[in-house]
Structure formats: structure tokens, C-alpha cells
Structure 1
Amino acid sequence: MIEKRESPVHELLSIRDYLRWATSRFNSEGLFFGHGTDNAWDEAVQLIMLSLHLPWDSPPDLLNARLTSDERRHLVHVIERRINERIPAPYITGTAWFAGLAFHVDNRVLVPRSPLAETIAQEFQPWLASYPHRILDLCTGSGCIGIACAHTFTDAEVVLSDISADAIEVAQSNIERHHLEDQVRAVESDLFAGLQGEVFDLIVSNPPYVNAEDLASMPAEFQAEPALALGSGADGLDFTRRLLSEARQHLSDNGLLVVEVGNSWPALEATFPGVPFTWLEFEQGGHGIFVLTAEQLDLHRAELA
């Protein structure tokens, strides 16, 4: 018989009380952190402050504020959900942050976490040869990468593309959230099938790239995300191979292709040993993102076909 845990609602009164309690529970229950945080305290801050509709960086004195009974019950509920269901905190709060911007997320899309945020802030320098007037965010999910690009390149037209109709709905909601309807549009497309005849100066993609072995062993929190956006065959490169064979047709002569393949980067280099992938380095952590110019794609067309 499973012992029912007594609710702490009558003992925990302040925001600080709940932050401490949640942190202890998260540590004792062995949760995995990898969707915007990397430790129990930061996870508790994200979950609790957003659940209370408060900024995560609120003044420290606010943490001593006492909560209403309804607020206390709600916090116990969301903390227990995080523990029992093993779902990422942003799916509970409905909000994730990327490149300093807030995005709506739910289980139709991945939780934003790409190190590409750092590259976008640097305007893709020194690899981007000229201002990108047309940008494609391929496999857009929530739309976070493309929308961050739109904030950085304010005169650019940005297209968000995804094979998932559900993801396109989420991306469209984020276009509207950031009031970018005149600059950004969302298109349902399997790779370039729905973008025939369109050419871009910058193509950025965070496609599915997890290999079968890694996918099977991922923590439960990742299993809550859409499998379509994670797995890509035995070596994680099914989609990326297609992308590399077709990208040049949709890239301008001075264009740049930027693709995230994560832990599948050794398999990619082994598959295309003659292709001069440039692997980006990140001050804030991350790996497995390459850039190729249109010229490089031309020079290695036969190998990539």
C-alpha cells in the first residue's frame, strides 16, 4: 500500500517556503534538469514564480510574501506534477525563454534550449557575408529561433517552417505574441516541399537529430516532448542528410546554412569526410552546430547528393 503524502499547505506560507520545499523535493526525487535549468533551485524558481505570474528575478524581499490558500494549493499541485509526471517545467507554466524572449510552449513542441541563441545575438558573425533579407527557420517548433532572428534582423523577412501542423499552430501563436505578423510567417512543410521556388540568405535549422540509442535512454522529461522533433533514424542523421542534399537550391549565392546536430556530429563527419564543416564554439555551453556557405555546398555537391 502506497502511503499518501500529507499536504504541506498549512505549514508552508511564503514564496521562500515553497522554493525551499520544492528544491528539496526535486533533489530527493532525482529529477532531471535540462529544459532551461540545470539544478533543482533554478527549476523551483522557474516553476513557482511563473505559476504565481511573477518575474523570476523579482526582488528578494518579495520571497517573504505570504501566499493565499488558493495560491498555496496551486503551488503544491504544480510541484507534485513536476515530480510525478516528470514533465518539463515549461510545459506546466506554458512559458519558456530563448534569446531573452518569452515563448508559449506546450507538448506539441520542444522546449527551447538551443545554444544558437548566442550565435543569433552575435548576428552570425563572422560567417554571414551580408545582411540576410530572407531567413528560414527550418523545423521551427515553437518558432523561437526564427522569431529571435526577426528581432535581430528587423528588416528581414522570416519564414518559420515545420512538418507538424501542431507545431505551426504554436509558432503562429508566438508570432502574434511578439506582434511580428508583418515580418514573420509560418508554413507547414516537409523540408522544402512547401517552399518551392523560395530562396533565403540564411537557413537555420534545429532538426531532429537524436540517434536511436540515445533516444531510448533519454530521461523521462525528454520522453514528454514530441518524438517527431527528437529522433531521426539509427544515427540521428536521416533528416540532416536530406537537408544537405537540398539546401543549396534554396540558398542565395552569398547565403549561409546553420544546422544543429548535437551529439550526432561525429556520425555526420564520418558520413561526409570531405565536407569542411565549421563547428561553432559557445561561451555559454553547447556543441554540435555547424555552418556551411553556399560556395562550400557547391564545391561538395556530389558528396552531399
Structure 2
Amino acid sequence: MDINHYSEASASLKTVRDCLRFAVSRFNEAELFFGHGSANAYDEAAYLILHTLNLPLDRLDPFLDARLTQSEIYDVLDIIERRTEQRIPAAYLTNQAWLGDLSFYVDERVIVPRSFIAELLREQLAPWISDVERIHNVLDMCTGSGCLAILAAHAFPDAHVDAVDLSADALDVAQYNVTDYDLEERISLIESDMFDKLEGKRYDLIISNPPYVDAPSVAALPQEYKYEPQQALGSGTDGLDATRVILEHAAKHLTSNGILVVEIGHNRDALEAAFPNLPFTWLDVSAGDEFVFLLHKNDLS
């Protein structure tokens, strides 16, 4: 947005409806990529405007014709400009991301939370876990912002959760979220290169949304993804380096009835080709049955 365009908008826009129309037009014109919470220009514009104005995020209609003060117009235009010109993901602009009904603090030290495992945890991994009370120890490998660890703590109220990440910066963000949800006594944050610091630990459930983007896809990622920590996205030539480590070590860290649940993006064919003898169970999520697998301890042994 050039200065003249911005100045013209600041003088002309009066209402939330005006700002919404302007934002959608700018986002479409810039051909932004929407993959960090919103699916289209309208939803993202509505979210950013409501957040900036400190209005309820689920109640746009009552405010559409509300006239804004000049300072509010400037604030809205500023966030529209940053999203359009710098292509910063909306979650980093607002320091907020949602998984289901829960919101989490995020910044550029962690990837923006997005995981199909969140859907499965809302159902307490039924029917694969039939007795929620038997889940006493959970591991969230590659925890990032801590979002899945927090969802696991809610799903399994009798469980203690170890949340592991290689990045100390990511764990600082996770600590903020764990404290925000008052779960310090139930979630332990562990800085570790995968399983290195977990010697002797056993879990009833291991979950992981590890890096899984293959090298060609990393090279082709839209600008929005370049704000995210690259070590949390790419995982070797075929995207399976982190998953290989998990499959190699998970068995010795699972209890006798323990299960492993891992998200692997679009890598189902590559994974099955690499591990033809593993009886993967592919779990149904909103996008289909090729993104998250489940294995029992005996499958891995």
C-alpha cells in the first residue's frame, strides 16, 4: 500500500464495514496466502479488524455500521498494511492463535499452531483410548507453543504431560501458555533433541506434530511461512527425518499398552514405502485419513 493510497483510505473510511471491504480488496489484490488460521480474505480481514478494535471475535454483524474514531482507523489500516505489504501471518500480528476453543500466545519463535491431532484430542482419541483414566503419562514431542500439550492435559485430567522441544525459544513461548492455563503442576517443559533427555521415561500416550515438510516443498513455501522457524517446518529431503527418529525410539518410551500418534502432512505414501512392515492405522480427521497415524507399542516392537 503506497503512502497516497494509505492516506486516501484514512480520510475516506468511516465504519467497520468500510474497513472490512477495504481489507478484503487489499488482501485479494496482494494474493495473500491463508494457511495460518483463516481460509480466505474475508475471514482474515474480519478477524484482524475485530481483534484490533477489541471487539468480540464471533460478533461482526452488530458492529458493521459502527463509526470509528480517527485513531481506530489508523490502527486498523496499520494492521491491514502490515499483513498486505510484509505478508506477516495474522497470528504473529495479533500474537494469538486458536486450536478449537482455546487460544494461545504465539510469536515468531514458534510455528503458528495448526494440527489435526487437536481434533482427535477433543474426542480424547476415542475409540483408540477407551478408558481415559488409564492415561497417566503423556509425551508431546516437538511441542512448539505447547498447544497440544495443553489440549492433552485437558483431554486426560489424570495425566502428567512432558512437553519436549529442541528450541529454548519455543519453550519460553510454551511456558507462557502453560502458565496462562494454570497447568504448571501438570505439564513439564523439557529442552531436548527428541528423546535424548528422556532416558527411562515411559508414557501411556505419545503425540507429535513434528517437522514434516520435504525439501522441495520448503523451497516453494509462500512468503508467510518464511516468518516461521524453519527447523520446525523442514525435515530432510523427504520430510521424514524427525518421524524416523520417533519411530526408532518410541517403543522403549511407551508403556505396555501405550500408543503413538503422529502427524505427517502429505507424506503417507512416502512413509508407507519407507516402513512397509509397520501396520499404520490412519485416523480420520477433517481433511481425510492420510495425515495422522497411530501405532501401538506392540506394532513398534
Shared fold (TM-score greater than 0.5)?
yes
Give yes or no for contact 1:197–1:250 (8 Å, CA) kept in 2.
yes
Q: Distance between the aligned counterparts of 1:59 and 1:49, measured in 2?
A: 7
2:294 matches 1:294:
no
- Cα deviation code 1:193-220 (max 9, x no counterpart): 1222211111100000100001101111
Per the TM alignment, residue 3 of structure 1 is displaced from its structure 2 partner at its CA by 7.7
- Structure-1 separation of matches of 2:299 and 2:56: 45
Q: Note the C-alpha offset of 1:54.
A: 2.0
If the length of structure 2 is used for normalisation, what is the TM-score?
A: 0.95
> Is the contact between residue 198 and residue 250 of structure 1 (CA under 8 Å) also seen in structure 2?
yes
Q: How far 1:66 sits from its partner (Å)?
A: 1.8
Aligned to 2:52: 51
Task: Say if 1:63 and 1:235 are closer, same or farther in 2 by CA, change over 3 A.
Answer: same
The SS at the match of 2:10 is coil
In structure 2, the gaps of 5 or more residues are none
- Deviation at residue 230 of structure 1 after TM alignment: 0.3
Task: Name the residue aligned to 1:302.
Answer: none
Equivalences for 1:17-166 in 2 at 5 Å?
Answer: 17-58=18-59, 60-128=61-129, 130-131=131-132, 132-166=135-169
Tell me the residue number matched to 1:259.
262
How far apart in 1 are the matches of 2:189 and 2:64?
Answer: 40
Which amino acid counterpart does residue 120 of structure 1 have in structure 2?
A: L
CA pair 18-59 structure 1, distance change in 2 beyond 3 A: closer
SS at match of 1:257: strand
Aligned to 1:5: 5
- 2:208 is aligned, of 205, 210, 225, to 205
Runs of 4+ in 1 over 3 A off after TM superposition: 283-287
CA 93–267 in structure 1, closer or farther in 2 if over 3 Å, else same? same
Please tell me the root mean square deviation across aligned C-alpha atoms, in Å: 1.5
SS of 2:11's equivalent in the other structure is: coil
Shift of 1:287: 4.1
Q: Deviation of residue 286 (structure 1)?
A: 7.5
Tell me how far apart the structure 2 counterparts of residues 220 and 82 of structure 1 sit (CA, whole Å): 11
Q: CA deviation at 1:125?
A: 1.3
How far off is 1:274 after superposition?
Answer: 1.2
| Post-superposition offset of 1:148 | 0.8
In the comparison of the two structures, how many residue pairs are matched? 297
> Within the alignment, does 1:175 sit opposite 2:183 as a pair?
no
Q: For 1:41-83, what per-residue CA distance to the aligned partner results, in whole angstroms no more than 9, with x for missing partners?
A: 0111121111222221125212222222211111111111101
CA contact (8 A) 2:282 2:289 kept: no
Q: Do the aligned partners of 1:138 and 1:162 also contact (CA within 8 Å) in 2? A: yes
Measure the CA separation in 1 of the matches of 2:221 and 2:289.
Answer: 18
Q: Which amino acid aligns with 1:203?
A: I
| Counterpart among 207, 230, 253 of residue 227 in structure 1 | 230
- Taking the aligned partners of 2:179 and 2:14, their CA distance within structure 1 comes to 37
Distance in 2 separating the partners of 1:258 and 1:188: 21
Secondary structure class of the residue paired with 2:266: helix
Structure 1 portions without partners, runs of 5+: 299-305
TM-score (norm: length of structure 1): 0.93
Q: Is the 8 A contact 1:129 1:255 kept in 2?
A: no
1: CA distance, partners of 2:4 / 2:15: 24
The one-letter code matched in structure 1 to 2:5 is R
Cα distance in structure 1, aligned partners of 2:17 and 2:169: 37
Tell me the distance in 1 between the aligned counterparts of 2:275 and 2:138.
26
State the 1:283 CA deviation.
3.4
Asked whether the equivalents of residues 255 and 294 of structure 1 are also in contact (C-alpha less than 8 Å), the reply is yes
